[in-house]
Structure 1
Amino acid sequence: MSIKKVYLIRHGQTDYNLESIVQGSGVDSNLNATGRRQAELFYEKYKHIPFDKVYTSTLQRSMQSVQGFIDLGIPHEQHTGLNEINWGTREGTRITPEEDAYYHSILQTWCDGNTDICIEGGESPDLVYQRQTPVIDLILSRPEEETILICMHGRAMRVMLCQLLRYPLRCMDEFQHQNLCLYELDYTGSMFSVNKYCDVTHLQPSRV
């Protein structure tokens, strides 16, 4: 049985990341200089991989992070189902102590198992899970795509990893992420396994 290999990455750094401003699905930011360098380093490390398809969200920071692979002529699809969670009224605002306290209370609510609760004006993890499911089903319905690259966003990535690895959504914070980190997974046709977990070794300067 052939194994489908999935390289799942988070987008590179943006100024919003650097300045602690909430992004989410409603803020279509660009990579900053550090983020572009992270994308270059990932490309240099993995350009030899024979990807059959590149999947991204519809947000620029996601596409810019894998532009090197798209420029090689690898087929590329964008899906809104891969967009970041909608953080509602917090999107585009700097995190204040009060906002941080509310944010952590929402995270605790989700960790307690109440993943149907939406952040004010935004989405819940359950809603993100539901919009991701058709994209995952589409990807898994294509056996001819044996090796794929997916670039998306931090919270949405945590939701997807729960879905792929059959974890309850209340456990999503067990999956760490950093800008341009990599999860490498194998799919046997019935289950996923993890080969690399939040790997960022490609971002470390090489030593001669």
Structure 2
Amino acid sequence: MPKIQTKLKSKKIYLVRHGQTDYNLKKIVQGSGIDAPLNETGRMQAEQFYKTFQHVSFDKIYTSTLQRSIQSVERFIQKGIPHEALSGLNEINWGTREGMEITPEEDAYYHQVIAEWQAGNTALRIEGGESPEDVFERQKEALEHILSHDNEETILICMHGRAMRVFLCQMLNYPLQCMDLFAHSNLCMYKLVYTGNMFSLHTFNDIRHLNGYCSQL
């Protein structure tokens, strides 16, 4: 966790993953180099999230620079809540695998890489892409920037699955090899509280806000 020089007020952080895209639906690899929009299901997920949390007085919204994260919280942005897109929050770069369908061969390669990360080799990069340590390093600046604003006490952050796992390790001071402990699904939410020197986790992979939509499927 980056060191902040100023004394900070406590912050409530609502951290969400973007809604579904066609890449998610069709099981095609989607990383920082794929700027896919939400599909119909993703837009409905975003609407359900908005309906559930529209009463929360967010001081600021942070997203990645990718449109699927911005579209997932667009209804909040339309209310006039200040918004900032940070490239440090972008998804991991999956390199040569981006845009490829997950065949049995590709799935085997993916699980091989994940196994290496879980064994502690978090400097291992996907072929042509990033490692978890690369993502961790670029997220440091983004997190420091987010925490540096004393007047932002309730924050909404929307980002991406693998990057969110790295981000949670960073905030909660977990070893990167443990990042797969943090489950995620489209438009899930983690809620954290920052006390000025540490984070605590209050909500884990919460999708209760989607129940109204899911019950109609």
TM bracket (short chain): over 0.9
1:65 to 66, 69, 72: 72
Mapped partners of 1:86, 1:43: distance in 2: 29
> Deviation at 1:3?
2.2
Counterpart in the other structure of 1:8: 15
Question: Unpaired segments of 5 or more residues in structure 1?
Answer: none
Counterpart in the other structure of 1:84: 91
State the number of aligned residues.
207
Counterpart in the other structure of 2:3: none
Q: Equivalent pairs: percent with the same residue?
A: 64
Counterpart in the other structure of 1:194: 201
Mapped partners of 1:136, 1:18: distance in 2: 30
Matched residue type, 1:85? I
Cα deviation 1:16-74 (Å, max 9, x = unaligned): 00000001000000000000000000000001100000000000000000000000000
**TM-score, normalised relative to structure 1:** 0.98
> Deviation at 1:2?
4.4
Aligned to 1:198, what secondary structure does the other structure show? strand
> Deviation at 1:205?
1.4
Mapped partners of 2:23, 2:107: distance in 1: 15
Counterpart in the other structure of 1:178: 185
Aligned to 2:212, what secondary structure does the other structure show? coil
Alignment RMSD (CA, Å): 1.1
Question: Unpaired segments of 5 or more residues in structure 2?
Answer: 1-7
Mapped partners of 1:11, 1:191: distance in 2: 25
Matched residue type, 2:168? L
**TM-score, normalised relative to structure 2:** 0.94
> Deviation at 1:156?
0.1
1:135 to 130, 139, 142: 142
Runs of 4+ that moved beyond 3 A: none
